[in-house]
Amino acid sequence: MRRMIITALVAVLTLLPTPALAKPGLLTGDESRYPHAIRLEHGSHKGEILVALHRYASVDVLRAGRSGKKFQKLSTFSDPTSRWVLCCGHLYELPRQVGDMPAGTVLWAGSAGLREETMKARIWRSDDGGETWRYLSECARATNPYGLWEPDLSVDAHGRLHCYFSDESEDAVHSQYIGRTVSSDGITWSAKEKVVAVRPRGYRPGMPQVKRLPTGEFYLMYEICGQPDQYFCEAFHRTSPDGVSWGDPAWFGNRPVTKSGRYFAHTPSIALAPNGTERGRVILMGQMLMGADGKVDPGNGRTVFISENGGRDGWYEAPAPVAVPGARDDLCPNFHPAGVASLDGRSLIGFASDYASNGKCYTSWATGDLPPFPND
């Protein structure tokens, strides 16, 4: 995340009001942003949907049934080690046993601390589908007063838990890089290592998100900010056979671009969906849709990208379930949109934030149809 976010996170909102949300499905009546959603695959709540909403000082967790038609607030938690902020977090359900945590244990990893506090990536654990939470461990810590952002969790092919994060505190070589730590029990973590660390120094990889495809291949989506040209904060991705080896950290990665040259800038987020093939679909969401000319595209805030065959067959566009036509480089409108596919893979339950007419930020959800399967 860009360093200027440090001031913005603790400031009182002074932005001018913008039009109310077009969709009526507000998740709560409280201010929130940075949604992240998963579908549970284990235990008594199998098939249900969890959503975490960022409220700066706390996190709200909501749950819905298999269809995602009604969300109920389950819990709220905050971090007693931080006076300033708890943000930029992702939910994750363990697909297999890690340490004393069985498959189906739900984890939330987020950034805690700001300003004079040392920033750290801290993990919380739920054993009952998101209803109650307890602190688990710290997977990474900043080495200076700068930021450590957007942790994301993944279990590799060997059963080890990985914590990915955006680190702007490490050294003079990289303004920010995507790093990770690794744990066999979720408690004790390895030293940091670089996963995406590009040159020149001002280029800033961030917003990592890892998914495991049905084939077992791992998929990493991220942004790179700091470019002086039209591709500022453009989305990139790369793959790994085992969730460990991601290639040369200095490599930028592949650009998800449509045939017309459209691409996403800022806060990329991915979801997986079945599509009648063994590889399935990768669905990409982002804050801003840009045209091939580097200008904001007319479909901005209204579009998602889809790639069939596990992301190998190029990208095409589809309507976003929640439209945020005023999406821009800002901490609310379409900031880190999220989505969960329906069980049959034919629709997408989308989550996005936007300013309401009172100038406050709220998160809403809606369900939109996905294009037909390739073999339909």
Using one digit for the tens of pLDDT, what is the confidence trace for 127-160?
Answer: 999 999 999 999 999 988 889 999 999 999 999 9
pLDDT at position 174 over 50: yes
Percent of the chain with pLDDT over 90: 82
Average pLDDT over residues 194-215: 96
For the chain, which domains are there?
A: 32-271+281-295 (2.120.10.10)
pLDDT at res. 84: 63
Give the Cα-Cα-Cα angle 198, 199, 205 (nearest 5 degrees). Answer: 40
Cis ω on the peptide bond leading into residue 200 (within 30° of 0)?
yes
| Overall average pLDDT of the 86-95 stretch | 94
Q: What is the pTM of this model?
A: 0.93
The span from the CA of 82 to the CA of 308, in Å, is 42
pLDDT score at 209: 98
Please report the pLDDT score of residue 321 as a whole number. 96
Assigned token pair, 200: 């020149």
**Whose CA is closest to 92, among 18, 14, 155?**
155
Distance CA 44, CA 1 (A): 37
Provide Rg for the chain, Cα atoms. 19
The answer to whether residues 75 and 133 touch, using CB atoms and an 8 Å cutoff, is yes
What pLDDT is recorded for position 56? 82
